[in-house]
Chains A and B, each alone.
Chain A
């Protein structure tokens, strides 16, 4: 089935998308502008659309008529964009920011004008969707998906879906953003698409004003939302976390703030697709998932690393010989887990592990202890080279307002860590800073060596 075939079941006059200046109903999505058909004639099309409403319309319009579509964020650096366009085999770019597109590829400028004639509907084809990995560890790679692989965990209960108004704080070109878009559309919900390049305050203001009921964000972004003046106007019945480890502190804070909401944390990645959702409000996931994971995927834990088998995703990067799954189809996620009291808990990324005098330390484990200190709003843990132990743990913390002098707080944080961590895990240096950088995907920005 194509996206449009799914949407044909939605009430045509119901509001599908709310932007900062525009409203679209499902009927608008089913009658795409003429530029979409022009783009589809090229077979393989790249979408570089800054306007989220235009991107949503293009995705709906192209699925089933284009052979392949590549979703590229408009802020991709030019050299990287040129490389990804080449690798993807895109024959044209559909864009609303033509100035940012590298030379050498036909450009179709986005235009809302309706199709002049209504040509006969060709038989729908299965469109290949290409998504770029975040590229935090080097050049981004392309992963091939299908509508089927992207919607494996999407809930299609329109009776309940119609009651939801999903807020979109992610870039739609990213896996997490696409998941929210597809959940909103296939659930028959209304999607609220604020300008994610604007300040968080105005994004949340639009979500509140438009009656957002369901919202998905990274734990880092949720911490910001909880601290944002004005966010108390949000009244959510669905709270979703993903992209980073959901620790007990943030889950508890969200449960307290939204006591009646369905609280879910999702485990997904561009390569593994949407793997599973945890709905009991607790950190980690039940150990029983390894015996029988929900939703038809397989999980394995080998040497403390989580492996995911999702038969719907092609196991190699598009246009490359690079393979990210074993011959049996298991994707090594790079996430370390540990079994405790019948649950697997996420410890952190294997490639982020710090060696302190022969002891391995997961930065995320230390961050979660820091975040459990009442004065700490945000925390980032890293390594400093040491002539004695090879590395030492360092921490940067953003303090909540009005908690006392940094000197007193640092001493209190040191004691807090000493009580909860091994000696080699506790930060040797603690620096107070005004803010911590967040990546375009809403995650805490890290520099991996």
Chain B
């Protein structure tokens, strides 16, 4: 498991807990983000906390707007920006 994936998984569950949301189904790469239980405020917090831990915010750094649809795409977006 990459550092990006491990950190995202850990913080995803932590943010869900602190924003009083619950996960709707086990998290897989196919999970549709908007159906995961996380809302836009939760995603904003997740992106800010990932920026703090990984030192990277690909949504701000990226020139073209990108909207990942699934959890797998979200992780891949970070892995691409963080490099191997």
In the bound complex, do residue B48 and residue A392 qualify as a contact, i.e. CB atoms below 8 Å apart?
yes
Residues of B within 8 A of A414 (CB): 18
Question: Do the beta carbons of A387 and B59 come within 8 Å of each other?
Answer: yes
Query: What is the minimal beta-carbon distance from B66 to any residue of chain A, in angstroms?
Result: 10
Tell me whether A388 and B49 are in contact (CB under 8 A).
Answer: no
Q: A389–B19 contact, CB under 8 A?
A: no
Q: Is B20 an interface residue (CB 8 A)?
A: yes
User: If the complex has contacts A418-B18, A423-B20, A429-B52, are A387 and B41 also in contact, measured as CB distance less than 8 A?
Assistant: no
Q: Does B18 lie within 8 Å of A356, measured CB to CB?
A: no
Contact of B47 among A357, A387, A415, A423 (CB under 8 A): A387
Task: Give the shortest distance, in Å, between B83 (CB) and chain A (any CB).
Answer: 20
Q: Does B73 have its Cβ within 8 Å of any Cβ on chain A?
A: no
Find out whether the CB atom of B20 lies under 8 angstroms from the CB atom of A392: no
Contact partner of B41 (CB less than 8 A), chosen from A385, A424, A429, is A424
Q: State whether A388 touches B43 (Cβ < 8 A).
A: yes
Q: Does B60 contact A (CB under 8 A)?
A: yes
Contact of B57 with A by CB under 8 A: yes
B48/A384 in contact, CB under 8 A: yes
Question: Restricting to A408-445, which residues have a CB under 8 Å from any CB of B?
Answer: 414-415, 418, 423-424, 426, 428-429
Q: Does A148 contact B (CB under 8 A)?
A: no
- On whether the beta carbons of B48 and A428 are closer than 8 Å, the reply is yes
Residues of A within 8 A of B19 (CB): 418, 423, 426
Does B54 interact with chain A (Cβ within 8 Å)? no
B6-63 residues at the A interface, CB under 8 angstroms: 18-20, 40-41, 43-45, 47-49, 52, 57, 59-60
Cβ–Cβ contact B20 & A428, under 8 A: no
Interface size on B, residues (CB 8 A): 15
Do A388 and B20 contact each other (CB < 8 Å), given the known contacts A429-B49, A429-B52?
no
Tell me how many residue pairs across A and B have CB atoms closer than 8 Å: 43
Question: CA separation between A259 and B60, bound complex, in Å?
Answer: 53
User: Interface of chain B, helix or strand or loop or mixed?
Assistant: helix
Q: Is the CB of A429 within 8 A of B20?
A: no
* B69 shortest CB reach to chain A, Å: 15
Minimum CB–CB distance from B8 to chain A (whole Å) comes to: 15
Question: Which B residues are CB-close (under 8 A) to A389?
Answer: 40-41, 44
Q: Is the CB of A386 within 8 A of B44?
A: yes
Q: Name the B residues within 8 Å of A385 (CB-CB).
A: 60
B residues near A428, Cβ cutoff 8 Å: 44-45, 48-49
Q: Mark A380-408, 1 if CB is under 8 A from B, else 0.
A: 00001111110010000000000000000
Known: A357-B41, A423-B20, A423-B41. A386 touches B49 (CB 8 A): no
Contact yes or no, B60 A388, CB < 8 A: no
On whether A386 and B20 interact (CB within 8 A), knowing A356-B41, A357-B41, the answer reads: no
Q: Is there contact, CB below 8 Å, between B48 and A429?
A: yes
Q: Which residue of A lies closest to B52 (CB)?
A: A429
- B residues near A357, Cβ cutoff 8 Å: 40-41, 44
Q: Shortest beta-carbon distance, B56 to chain A, in Å?
A: 13
Q: How far is the CB of B49 from chain A (nearest CB, A)?
A: 7
Kindly state the separation between the CA atoms of A16 and B44 in the bound complex, as whole angstroms.
58
Which chain A residue shows the least CB distance to B61?
A387
CB distance from A389 to the nearest CB of B (A): 4
Within 8 A of B (CB), among A276-330: none
A388 adjacent to B52 (CB under 8 Å): no
- Return the contact of A392 from the options B18, B44, B59, B60 (Cβ within 8 A): B44
Residue of A386, A392, A415, A424 with most partner-chain B CB within 10 A: A386
Measured between C-beta atoms, what is the minimum distance from A306 to chain B in Å?
A: 30
**Please, which residues of chain B bring their CB within 8 A of the CB of A388?**
40, 43-44, 47, 59
Nearest CB in chain A to that of B58: its residue: A387
Q: How far is the CA of A429 from the CA of B15 in the complex (A)?
A: 11
Residues of A within 8 A of B41 (CB): 356-357, 389, 423-424
Chain A residues in contact with chain B, CB under 8 A?
356-357, 384-389, 392, 414-415, 418, 423-424, 426, 428-429
Contacts A389-B40, A426-B18 given; 19 further ones with Cβ under 8 A? A357-B41, A357-B44, A386-B48, A387-B59, A387-B60, A388-B43, A388-B44, A388-B59, A389-B41, A415-B18, A418-B18, A418-B19, A418-B20, A423-B19, A423-B20, A424-B41, A426-B19, A428-B44, A429-B49
- 15 residue pairs of the A-B complex, CB under 8 angstroms, read A356-B41, A357-B40, A357-B41, A357-B44, A385-B60, A386-B44, A386-B48, A388-B43, A388-B59, A392-B48, A415-B18, A418-B18, A423-B20, A428-B48, A429-B48
The 10 closest A-B pairs by CB, nearest first: A388-B44, A387-B59, A389-B44, A428-B45, A386-B44, A414-B18, A387-B60, A428-B48, A392-B48, A388-B43
